[in-house]
Amino acid sequence: SWTVGQALRTRVMWLLLSATIVPAAITNGLSFNQISILTQAGLSPTTAAMTFAVESAVTLPMTLLSGWLADRIGPRYVLAFGQVALLLTLICLTFTASLEMAILFGVLRGITTGSWVLGTEVIMPVYFGRRYLGSIVGLSFASAFAGAAIGPIPFGVAYDLTGSYQVATIGLAVLPALTTVAALLAKPPARRRLPTRARG
């Protein structure tokens, strides 16, 4: 098993943290602003709020499916899939102006949440062992909370400067594209070699 300090000295931990911070930031930013974004696009407040219900309905089965997939293809591919789903979520939101697109947006948000969260939680013990799992997962959660804290800011800044959220939804799409690559590159770290006992 790896300690937090040892894990932080590996490239893979930083790749995983990037694939944790980005979706946490963007999804929280969306949660704070998506009703405003959708009503600005011409949808009713009721339809905009309905997307949260769609997301919740999709997240549960997607979490179960992601767990099944993680056991079979590996958690980094599930984590990468979550980044792709987030990218598609932002693209969909940019062009959402109808009930059908709003439902699709909610579905994609549910797929995103159900896959990246599960992927993040599963991959840590698989890669770094269980002895220091509390510290490792604590670091991961702290990173996610940090991302979530700053997530709403770019949406607010974009609206204040341009009167629209599109700059944020389009510009932020670059980040999950990058973290998709990061997740795919996050191969299991090399096992640490334990010192051998000297022979007399």
**pLDDT, tens digit, for every residue of 140-183?**
999 999 999 999 999 999 999 999 999 999 999 999 999 999 99
As its CATH architecture, domain 4-185 has Up-down Bundle (1.20)
* 3-class SS shares of the chain: helix, strand, coil, % to 5: 80, 0, 20
Alpha helices in 129-173 (DSSP H): 133-150, 152-162, 166-171
Q: Are 163 and 32 in contact (CB under 8 A)?
A: no
Q: State the pLDDT at residue 190.
A: 84
Find the mean pLDDT for residues 190-200.
52
Kindly report the backbone phi and psi dihedral angles of residue 164, in degrees, each rounded to the nearest multiple of 5, phi listed first.
-145, 160
CA distance 61 to 22: 23
Q: Work out whether the CA dihedral 127, 130, 136, 137 comes out positive or negative.
A: positive
CA distance 105 to 86: 10
Q: Return the domain boundaries, the chain.
A: 4-185
Average pLDDT score, the chain: 93
**pLDDT, tens digit, for every residue of 82-130?**
999 999 999 999 999 999 999 999 999 999 999 999 999 899 999 999 9
**pLDDT, tens digit, for every residue of 26-52?**
999 999 999 999 999 999 999 999 999
